[in-house]
Structure 1
Amino acid sequence: MAAFEWFVSLRYLRAKRKQKFISLITIISILGVAVGVLALIVVLSVYTGFTEGLRDQIIGVNAHALVQRFGTAITDTEAVTAAIEAVPGVEATTPYMYGQALISSATQSTGVVLRGIDAASAMRVLSIGEKMVAGQLTDLDKPAEVPAIVLGRDMARQIQVGVGDRVRLISPNGPLSPMGVLPKIRTCVVVGLFETGMFEYDSTMGYINLDTARSLTDLRRGVHGIEVRVRDIDQADRTAAAIQQALGHGYAVRDWMQLNRNLFAALKLEKIGIFIALDLIILVAALNIISALIMMVMEKNRDIAILKSMGATTRAIMRIFFYQGMVIGLAGTVLGVAGGLGLCGLLKRYKIIELPSNVYPMSTMPIKVVPLDVTVIAVSAILITLFATLYPSWKASRVRPAEALSYE
């Protein structure tokens, strides 16, 4: 029986001369589904690529997880580092210090966020060493008469300095005197410049070694915290929980998801909104399918009556028109998936669309095709189109042979 229903439904899809208008609506319905699926795949792939590119930029400057002690510095750095590195999933650690100061050159001055690091271990945890456009990050630890500093390229332009120039750091964390708090002042030489592609970092941040950082703060020993690199960034929350359990109470362990929770939650919500908005294109195509099938039912009233008179059941008639809608939906979905993946491949390979580097953290349109997203898009398109066939199929099954043939 199924072969008979398939034969009739495919026969109906091949329109005769007087049914060209119905055939045109069918083609429009297939193209509507295809365009909706294609748009969803391309837009979500671009959005996923942008999100992951932004994530990589943020994680590159910051660690995967951050360990701090409540209310005080970590003084037993070696013991805490050993306990962290013993946790499964941890690849490397590096101590850090944090502070703010005023940086001034011979002509300009501005605020700077200072990060005191151990350059040797920081190279294993952070990717800032790969972002250097002048000098090397390890130059911070080289012995010299004047302490070294590495600045973001935008900050260096702002205060008009380059590699080899001297800058002055003025920290408010000085001793208290009868005249008030005396600022701490250190002269440093610029040994390198970095560029992450994110203006917020390149225009505000500077790196110094731990000894220089201590000379600008009240902290004589220990560090403010320990940065951690994990093996799997998608499992950073689980690794952070394991570190928290290993260190016990008194420590706060936060992974990159917690540190940037608001940003990535907003991006995830926008992705869902885009998916729903573009799904409306498929919904419009589904309405075209409904109209095409209803007109076909009206055109085929006499044929349906004859089929019923010859013994076709109500369910068989329903399946005939259901199969028609299913063929339209599957054809549109397959065309859309093929077109979407093909277009994503072209954009990714040839990098046709370039982005302004001073606005976005990447230079070309990012593309990241996620198989799960493609599967969800294809399944949702098929389900929408199948749902659209239910009413026309039910309408066809309700045709009464006596009424349909009474005017013949």
Structure 2
Amino acid sequence: MRFELFVALRYLFARRKQTFISVISVISVLGVALGVASLIVVLGVMNGFTVDMREKILGVNAHVITLAAGGGISGYPELVRKAETVPGVKGATPFIYSEVMLSTRYGVKGVVLRGVDPVSAPAVLGIAGRMVDGSLADLERSGAPGLVIGKELAKRLGITVGSRVNLLSPSGEKTSAGFTPRILSFKIAGIFSTGMFEYDSSLGFVSLDAARDLLGMPAGTVSGLEIVVDDIYRADTVAQAVTQALGGYPFYSRNWMEMNANLFAALKLEKAAMSIMLTLIVLVGSFSIVTTLVMLVMEKSRDIAIMMSMGATKSHIRRIFMLQGTIIGVVGTTLGFGLGLLVCWLLKRYQFIKLPPGVYSLDHLPVLLQWQDLAAIAVGAMVLCFLATIYPARQASSLEPAEALRYE
């Protein structure tokens, strides 16, 4: 064992005359440990929220949406085939988008209506895997046009699979009596649950033909194409390639990152703000290390002078106190990692912190640990602890042996 490390461990674990310094050392270790544990738990929860939100959004929406300037798209089967030939595209499906009113005997509710192809939509939209009753295939199986709605909307209006409802389109007809909205009767063919209150309470799916009849659109016309890609983080590049494959203008494509930029930017900012605030806890622990080492230098000034008189150089003394502070940082960081990982495992395993589902997109705290965050926490904590040792170590190495031993 090196001389510097031996002395540093001796000063840390040997009994001292002043137990107050030992108490401050323990507080330093606990401060670093609590800061590290808090960072691990909070970043894990923030990552969990972000990923859960992204999965739920992409479960209802496609990764890329292709539209045409000025209105709908005709001749979409050929456009779908062209889009599917683009590298990185897993599938494409046409869709129709509009806002309508849903009317039942229990009330009226505004609904975002999406016309989909029951055959190709399940390969693009994750909504097919979130059905709690019925399926998208049932949209065209019943005699009347089928409608799939969210669980919250069904609960609010008191309707179930098989119920009859009316949809009122804003694109009505002018008659001698004035403007008459277009009204069609639909049969509830299925109910889905995404876990997001906004979608479950205001979204409905019908077949393409039913959407055209309700909205008065020409046959063979759709609002655009929905596309799913292999790598969601390359959606912007694939979107540009799809637009070029379709011939450019009047077609243009938008990806999921553009359409939800504000939401994910807010989550990223919140994660950064929480990280900065919790890093201050580690900083407080590192300041305690400064206090501990300064008081230790004052207590051990006689020992330092004797070691220097026996041949220890200033660099030896400096390394002794740097090692001592670094050991405190290592012990605190290790304890913090153990505590933080334990709390994250408990949150993930038992989900004992419940959230109101009407307020949040899920009913428990999600946890997702990423090695990049864990590495950044470990490096950051150790750097702060090491920086805290520089001043006390320099003060110890600048001690003059003659001055320290003059009155001994």
TM-score range, shorter chain: over 0.9
* Alignment-derived partner of residue 165 in structure 1: 163
Provide the rounded CA distance (Å) in 1 between the counterparts of 2:339 and 2:43: 14
* Alignment-derived partner of residue 358 in structure 1: 358
Structure 1 residue 106: Cα displacement: 2.2
TM-score by length of 2: 0.96
Structure 1 residue 261: Cα displacement: 0.3
1:113 aligns with 2:140: no
Structure 1 residue 157: Cα displacement: 2.5
The answer to whether the Cα contact below 8 Å between 2:305 and 2:401 also exists between their aligned partners in 1 is yes
What are the residue-to-residue correspondences of 1:388-403 with 2, within 5 Å? Answer: 388-403=388-403
* Alignment-derived partner of residue 197 in structure 1: 195
The answer to whether the Cα contact below 8 Å between 1:108 and 1:160 also exists between their aligned partners in 2 is no
Provide the rounded CA distance (Å) in 1 between the counterparts of 2:251 and 2:225: 11
* Alignment-derived partner of residue 145 in structure 2: 147
* Alignment-derived partner of residue 91 in structure 2: 92
Structure 1 residue 47: Cα displacement: 1.2
1:294 aligns with 2:294: yes
Provide the rounded CA distance (Å) in 2 between the counterparts of 1:280 and 1:93: 48
TM-score by length of 1: 0.96
Structure 1 residue 90: Cα displacement: 1.1
Aligned residue type for 2:317: I
Structure 1 residue 336: Cα displacement: 1.0
Aligned residue type for 1:39: S
Provide the rounded CA distance (Å) in 1 between the counterparts of 2:322 and 2:315: 10
The answer to whether the Cα contact below 8 Å between 2:196 and 2:362 also exists between their aligned partners in 1 is no
What are the residue-to-residue correspondences of 1:9-20 with 2, within 5 Å? Answer: 9-20=8-19
* Alignment-derived partner of residue 221 in structure 2: 222
Structure 1 residue 341: Cα displacement: 1.6
Provide the rounded CA distance (Å) in 1 between the counterparts of 2:34 and 2:379: 15
Provide the rounded CA distance (Å) in 1 between the counterparts of 2:176 and 2:125: 43
Structure 1 residue 178: Cα displacement: 4.8
Aligned-residue RMSD, C-alpha: 1.6
Secondary structure of the 1:193 match is: strand
Provide the rounded CA distance (Å) in 1 between the counterparts of 2:280 and 2:244: 47
Pairs aligned (count):
406
* Alignment-derived partner of residue 283 in structure 1: 283
What are the residue-to-residue correspondences of 1:25-64 with 2, within 5 Å? Answer: 25-64=24-63
Provide the rounded CA distance (Å) in 1 between the counterparts of 2:239 and 2:341: 36
What are the residue-to-residue correspondences of 1:302-341 with 2, within 5 Å? Answer: 302-341=302-341
More displaced 10-residue stretch of structure 1: 245-254 or 37-46: 245-254
More displaced 10-residue stretch of structure 1: 77-86 or 319-328: 77-86
More displaced 10-residue stretch of structure 1: 34-43 or 102-111: 102-111
Provide the rounded CA distance (Å) in 2 between the counterparts of 1:303 and 1:251: 80
* Alignment-derived partner of residue 380 in structure 2: 380
Provide the rounded CA distance (Å) in 2 between the counterparts of 1:251 and 1:34: 55
Aligned residue type for 1:43: V
Provide the rounded CA distance (Å) in 1 between the counterparts of 2:170 and 2:267: 37
**CA deviation digits over 1:349-386, x for unaligned, max 9?**
23332333333222332110111000001100000111
Structure 1 residue 397: Cα displacement: 1.1
The answer to whether the Cα contact below 8 Å between 1:151 and 1:194 also exists between their aligned partners in 2 is yes
Structure 1 residue 179: Cα displacement: 4.4
The answer to whether the Cα contact below 8 Å between 2:37 and 2:340 also exists between their aligned partners in 1 is yes
- Deviant stretches of 4+, over 6 Å: none
Structure 1 residue 27: Cα displacement: 1.4
The answer to whether the Cα contact below 8 Å between 2:53 and 2:361 also exists between their aligned partners in 1 is yes
What are the residue-to-residue correspondences of 1:247-266 with 2, within 5 Å? Answer: 247=246, 248-266=248-266
Provide the rounded CA distance (Å) in 2 between the counterparts of 1:239 and 1:334: 43
Provide the rounded CA distance (Å) in 2 between the counterparts of 1:275 and 1:295: 31
Provide the rounded CA distance (Å) in 2 between the counterparts of 1:76 and 1:148: 24
Structure 1 residue 127: Cα displacement: 1.4
More displaced 10-residue stretch of structure 1: 299-308 or 158-167: 158-167
The answer to whether the Cα contact below 8 Å between 1:118 and 1:141 also exists between their aligned partners in 2 is no
**CA deviation digits over 1:159-215, x for unaligned, max 9?**
232221211111121233454433111111111111212111111111111011111
More displaced 10-residue stretch of structure 1: 317-326 or 75-84: 75-84
Provide the rounded CA distance (Å) in 1 between the counterparts of 2:228 and 2:39: 34
The answer to whether the Cα contact below 8 Å between 1:15 and 1:22 also exists between their aligned partners in 2 is no
Aligned residue type for 1:354: K
The answer to whether the Cα contact below 8 Å between 1:9 and 1:323 also exists between their aligned partners in 2 is yes
Structure 1 residue 338: Cα displacement: 2.1
Structure 1 residue 77: Cα displacement: 0.8
**CA deviation digits over 1:255-310, x for unaligned, max 9?**
11111000000000000000000001000101110000000000011111112222
Aligned residue type for 1:93: A
Aligned residue type for 2:211: A
Aligned residue type for 2:289: I
The answer to whether the Cα contact below 8 Å between 1:169 and 1:188 also exists between their aligned partners in 2 is yes
Provide the rounded CA distance (Å) in 2 between the counterparts of 1:23 and 1:245: 69
Runs of 5+ unmatched residues, structure 2: none
Provide the rounded CA distance (Å) in 1 between the counterparts of 2:188 and 2:376: 51
More displaced 10-residue stretch of structure 1: 372-381 or 174-183: 174-183
Runs of 5+ unmatched residues, structure 1: none
Structure 1 residue 229: Cα displacement: 1.0
Aligned residue type for 1:173: S
Structure-2 change in CA distance of 1:17 and 1:143 (3 Å): closer
Provide the rounded CA distance (Å) in 2 between the counterparts of 1:46 and 1:402: 57
